[in-house]
Amino acid sequence: MNMEEMLTMRAATKTRIEGREEENKKDGKELKELDEAILLRFDNEGVSSMKVPGLGNFISQERTFASIKADMKDQAIAAFEEHYPDLVKKTINSNTLGAFVREARKQGTELPEAIKTCVNEYNTRFIMWRRG
């Protein structure tokens, strides 16, 4: 299967997902498998995007997520209050935390050990589709 066929198949799968709930789990698994295969092909071919006529652009993206480690909430809040008090309200919003960690990485800022100890950080890659 060539790259254009894989992306066409991915677009069809994504379109099916949007209109149904009952079969979303099965299609979601297929979509994830296609994304993994496409991302691998993108990496192997040294590309980060591909335009498919009639479908649009398919772009490799990466998103950073972060969450407080289990049983570390109190320690994490204390550490954030000490180092980044504006980030702490009554809770630490996971989207805000992810954006904060992503921005720190982008700027090359090393997080204090007290913060690193209580935060799980991971990246996930996905295919973004801009419909053409």
The percentage of residues in the chain with a pLDDT greater than 90, rounded to a whole number, is 64
Per-residue pLDDT, 112: 92
Range of the domain at 10: 3-62+125-131
pLDDT at position 18 over 90? no
97 and 116 both lie in a single domain: yes
Give me the mean pLDDT over the 34-51 stretch: 96
50 and 67 both lie in a single domain: no
73 and 25 both lie in a single domain: no
Distances (CA, A) of 4 to 66, 76, 86, 120, 122: 34, 46, 46, 36, 30
11 and 35 both lie in a single domain: yes
Give me the mean pLDDT over the 39-48 stretch: 96
114 and 93 both lie in a single domain: yes
In this prediction the pTM is 0.55
57 and 70 both lie in a single domain: no
78 and 50 both lie in a single domain: no
50 and 31 both lie in a single domain: yes
Q: For the chain, first and last CA: distance in Å?
A: 22
67 and 88 both lie in a single domain: yes
Tens of pLDDT, residue by residue over 84-97, are 998 887 778 889 99
Residues 6+ apart with CB under 8 A from 19: none
Give me the mean pLDDT over the 72-79 stretch: 92
Give me the mean pLDDT over the 69-73 stretch: 91
Tell me how many domains the chain contains: 2
